[in-house]
């Protein structure tokens, strides 16, 4: 009898096709042992549906809107923005019959460039026998089996993630994955792209997440397999100052259909927590989970136990947070830029000040005070990007400061006084009239003809009003008008003298004497101050 000996790799067709199929199904069977709770069997890449991190598994895999640790590279890359420090997380699980699952993830937040993440996932089922078969060429019956060794079913994926906040409390993220599947000499390679969205505090204590896995896919190798599109909607709500976290996810998978996940976490103390979770679908609850976590300084240790129709499995993971808080770095970076902006503002470089304040907002978009400053400065720089020099510059700077503080009355007075000194300056005219319209004050215009020589300035008008108020016995009004003049011209001797007169008439002799002496320091020949002090016996030339 002639016989023929061939290795199993060569007998994929013919009467013994079932032998190879049996070996292949035996390898794939390791998948359901791990994935049974999700009901997704041995579909390509479905080992990635098993989850990541014992904390999330203790919460029934309802983690899409929680995702505030390094496992966010798996659950929701957009939620990585919640993390302030670098974090490394690792999980190893020994499952049934030479099957193990590993997950490693690293998250690297930055002050300005968003948050980066890397992860590695691996599912290995080993101990499968590889055989060679000798056939009877006539009957095609097996006459000899020879063991050639063992082989494994290996699924692994490499992921790189990126998340970035695009408006306050909202962020987006993407993850690119390379997935490999190897069974003996059979290999498949996939590439896929995930997209995610995360929002927090749209409603107090509530977080919303959207995750689309395998939005873009590409396969290499001789296979018709495809990665399933999976959509997840995550909800999370915190209570008791974040001591209680409740989470509910809904999912839709092209292969497995719809599903849901529920989880609850309670921090009994600052360092210990308890968790429960459920995972299910249209057929009811598929897996029940419970877990606990311990946290000490920069380290976390989590454990979860899951009960499903195949039995009980345990998961452990550990995390390490290290490095400086990116929020602290952001605050310091923003503070430095704000200080530079204030210095430029004090020097009258308003356009450059806006640039510094805007750079600070790029680092810390939540700073309400800087947001308000930028908004008001933008109204100023449209008319005046930089304050002029000299006394006019002092008046303009005073006006801008008052405008920024919301004191529009003093802002108008300063801008009007600056315009009075330079009535041909169209920028000052535009700026003065902007505030005039907001306060109901008189508009200004460049004087022409005989009116140019005869016009009164704002200071002239206020000095006149102060004198008129003294004549009418309204001494408080006179003091106010003189004070308004001194804000514009701090060394105006006439205003100082008249303020002294108003205080004297109010019976406040000491204040009056001090003001008159101040007037003489500025102008020793100021006649009204000399006469008042002589009458009081206070004049010492």
Look at residue 446 and tell me whether its pLDDT is greater than 60: yes
Alpha-carbon torsion angle 347, 351, 352, 353, nearest 10:
70
pLDDT, tens only, 420-437: 888 888 888 888 898 999
Look at residue 222 and tell me whether its pLDDT is greater than 90: no
- Give, to the nearest 10 degrees, the angle between helix 493-505 and helix 458-471: 20
Mean pLDDT confidence for 484-511: 89
* Per-residue confidence (pLDDT) for residue 449, from 0 to 100: 56
- Closest by CA to 67, choosing from 259, 232, 240, 314, is 232
How big is the CA angle at 300 (ends 297 and 302), to the nearest 5 degrees?
Answer: 155
* Per-residue confidence (pLDDT) for residue 111, from 0 to 100: 79
How many angstroms separate the CA atoms of 280 and 430, rounded?
A: 68
Look at residue 13 and tell me whether its pLDDT is greater than 80: no
How many angstroms separate the CA atoms of 119 and 51, rounded?
A: 12
pLDDT, tens only, 297-308: 999 999 999 888
* Residue 193 vs residue 450, higher pLDDT: 193
Q: CA dist 210 to 57, 78, 198, 231, 280, Å?
A: 19, 9, 7, 8, 19
* Per-residue confidence (pLDDT) for residue 452, from 0 to 100: 52
Whole-structure pTM over 0.85, yes or no? no
Residue % of the chain over a pLDDT of 70: 89
pLDDT, tens only, 456-483: 788 888 888 898 898 888 999 999 999 9
- Alpha-carbon torsion (95, 98, 99, 102), positive or negative: positive
Split at pLDDT 50, 70, 90, the class of 389 is confident
Look at residue 272 and tell me whether its pLDDT is greater than 50: yes
pLDDT, tens only, 281-290: 888 898 999 9
Q: CA dist 170 to 192, 208, 245, 251, 514, Å?
A: 24, 10, 20, 21, 60
Mean pLDDT confidence for 157-164: 96
Q: Going by DSSP bridges, is the β-strand pair 115-135/4-7 parallel, antiparallel, or unpaired? A: antiparallel
Give the per-residue SS3 of 141-196.
Answer: CEEEEEEEEEEEEEEEEEEEEEEEEEECCEEEEEEEEEEEEEECCEEEEEEEEEEE
* Residue 311 vs residue 361, higher pLDDT: 361
Please give the backbone phi and psi of residue 258, each rounded to the nearest 5 degrees, phi first: -90, 155
Strands (E), 368-497: none
Q: What is the mean pLDDT of the chain?
A: 84
Q: Is 426 exposed, middle or buried (0-12, 13-18, 19+ CB in 10 A)?
A: exposed
Mean pLDDT confidence for 3-10: 42
* Chain centre to alpha carbon of residue 276: 29
Mean pLDDT confidence for 89-109: 88
* Per-residue confidence (pLDDT) for residue 42, from 0 to 100: 54
Domain boundaries, the chain: 4-323, 328-454, 458-536
- Closest by CA to 41, choosing from 140, 54, 33, 184, is 33
pLDDT, tens only, 225-253: 888 899 999 999 999 989 999 999 999 98
> For the ranges 5-14, 234-243, 352-361, 384-393, which has the lowest average pLDDT?
5-14
Mean pLDDT confidence for 210-233: 87
Tokens representing 382?
A: 């449209």
Q: Does domain 4-323 sit in CATH 2.40.160.40?
A: yes
Q: Are 213 and 232 in contact (CB under 8 A)?
A: yes
Alpha-carbon torsion angle 240, 245, 246, 250, nearest 10:
150
Q: Are 249 and 233 in contact (CB under 8 A)?
A: yes
Mean pLDDT confidence for 492-509: 90
How many angstroms separate the CA atoms of 37 and 49, rounded?
A: 10
Please list, in sequence order, all residues whose beta carbon lies within 8 angstroms of the beta carbon of residue 464, skipping any fewer than 6 positions away: 456
* Residue 465 vs residue 267, higher pLDDT: 267
pLDDT, tens only, 357-388: 888 888 777 788 888 888 888 888 877 888 88
Strands (E), 46-97: 86-94
For domain 458-536, give the CATH superfamily.
Tetratricopeptide repeat domain (1.25.40.10)
Look at residue 41 and tell me whether its pLDDT is greater than 50: no
- Closest by CA to 182, choosing from 174, 171, 170, 190, is 190
Q: Report the b/e string of 109-135 with b at 16+ CB within 10 A.
A: bebeebbbbbbebbbbbeebebebbeb
Split at pLDDT 50, 70, 90, the class of 14 is very low
> For the ranges 260-264, 328-332, 461-465, which has the lowest average pLDDT?
328-332
Most confidently modeled range among 30-44, 54-68, 83-97, 147-161: 54-68
* Per-residue confidence (pLDDT) for residue 43, from 0 to 100: 65
Q: CA dist 280 to 66, 247, 264, Å?
A: 19, 14, 15
* Per-residue confidence (pLDDT) for residue 36, from 0 to 100: 38
Split at pLDDT 50, 70, 90, the class of 455 is low
Look at residue 2 and tell me whether its pLDDT is greater than 70: no
Mean pLDDT confidence for 390-416: 88
> For the ranges 31-35, 144-148, 292-296, 319-323, which has the lowest average pLDDT?
31-35
* Residue 439 vs residue 453, higher pLDDT: 439
Look at residue 1 and tell me whether its pLDDT is greater than 70: no
Q: Are 198 and 208 in contact (CB under 8 A)?
A: yes
- Closest by CA to 211, choosing from 189, 190, 232, is 232
Q: How many CA atoms lie within 13 A of 436 on its CB side?
A: 15
Look at residue 11 and tell me whether its pLDDT is greater than 70: no
How many angstroms separate the CA atoms of 174 and 197, rounded?
A: 9
Measured between its terminal Cα atoms, the distance across the chain in Å is 143
pLDDT, tens only, 49-93: 778 899 999 999 999 999 999 999 999 999 999 999 999 999 988
* Per-residue confidence (pLDDT) for residue 288, from 0 to 100: 95
């Amino acid at each position: 009898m002639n016989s023929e000996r061939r290795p199993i790799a060569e007998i994929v067709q013919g009467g013994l096709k079932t032998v190879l199929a049996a070996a292949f199904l035996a390898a794939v069977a390791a998948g359901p042992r791990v994935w049974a709770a999700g009901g997704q069997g041995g579909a390509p890449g479905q080992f990635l549906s098993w989850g990541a991190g014992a904390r999330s598994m203790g919460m029934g895999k309802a983690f899409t809107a929680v995702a505030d640790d390094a496992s966010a590279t798996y659950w929701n890359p957009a939620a990585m923005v919640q993390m302030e420090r670098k974090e490394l997380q690792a999980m190893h699980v020994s499952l049934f019959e030479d099957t193990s699952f590993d997950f490693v993830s690293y998250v690297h937040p930055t002050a300005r460039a968003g948050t980066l993440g890397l992860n590695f996932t691996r599912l290995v089922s080993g101990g499968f026998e590889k055989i060679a078969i000798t056939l009877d060429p006539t009957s095609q019956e097996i006459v000899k089996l020879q063991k050639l060794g063992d082989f494994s079913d290996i699924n692994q994926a490499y992921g790189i993630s990126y998340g970035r906040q695009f408006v306050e409390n909202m962020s987006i993220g993407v993850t690119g994955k390379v997935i490999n599947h190897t069974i003996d000499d059979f290999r498949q390679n996939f590439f896929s792209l995930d997209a995610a969205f995360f929002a927090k505090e749209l409603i107090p204590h509530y977080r919303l997440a959207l995750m689309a896995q395998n939005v873009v896919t590409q396969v290499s190798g001789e296979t018709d397999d495809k990665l399933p599109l999976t959509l997840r909607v995550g909800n999370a709500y915190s209570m008791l100052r974040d001591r209680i976290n409740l989470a509910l996810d809904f999912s839709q998978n092209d292969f497995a259909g719809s599903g849901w996940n529920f989880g609850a976490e309670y921090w009994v103390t600052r360092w210990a927590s308890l968790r429960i979770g459920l995972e299910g679908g249209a057929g009811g609850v598929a897996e029940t989970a419970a877990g606990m976590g311990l946290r000490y300084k920069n380290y976390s240790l989590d454990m979860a136990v899951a009960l499903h129709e195949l039995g009980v499995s345990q998961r452990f993971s550990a995390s390490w947070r290290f490095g400086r808080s990116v929020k602290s770095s952001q605050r310091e970076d923003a503070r430095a830029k704000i200080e530079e902006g204030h210095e430029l503002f004090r020097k009258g470089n308003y356009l450059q000040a806006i640039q510094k304040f805007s750079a600070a907002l790029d680092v810390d978009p939540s700073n309400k005070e800087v947001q308000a400053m930028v908004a008001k400065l933008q109204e100023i720089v449209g008319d005046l990007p930089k304050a002029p020099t000299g006394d006019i510059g002092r008046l303009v700077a005073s006006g801008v400061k008052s405008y920024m503080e919301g004191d529009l009355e003093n802002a108008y007075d300063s801008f009007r006084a600056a315009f009075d000194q330079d009535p041909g300056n169209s920028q000052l005219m535009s700026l003065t009239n902007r505030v005039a319209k907001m306060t109901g004050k008189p508009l200004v215009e460049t004087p022409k003809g005989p009116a140019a020589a005869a016009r009164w300035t704002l200071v002239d008008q206020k000095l006149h009003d102060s004198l008129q108020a003294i004549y009418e016995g309204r001494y408080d009004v006179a003091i106010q008008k003189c004070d308004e003049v001194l804000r514009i011209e701090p060394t105006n001797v006439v205003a100082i003298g008249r303020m002294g007169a108003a205080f004297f008439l109010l019976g406040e002799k000491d204040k009056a004497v001090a003001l008159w002496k101040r007037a003489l320091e500025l102008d020793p020949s100021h006649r009204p101050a000399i006469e008042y002090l002589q009458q009081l016996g206070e004049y010492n030339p």
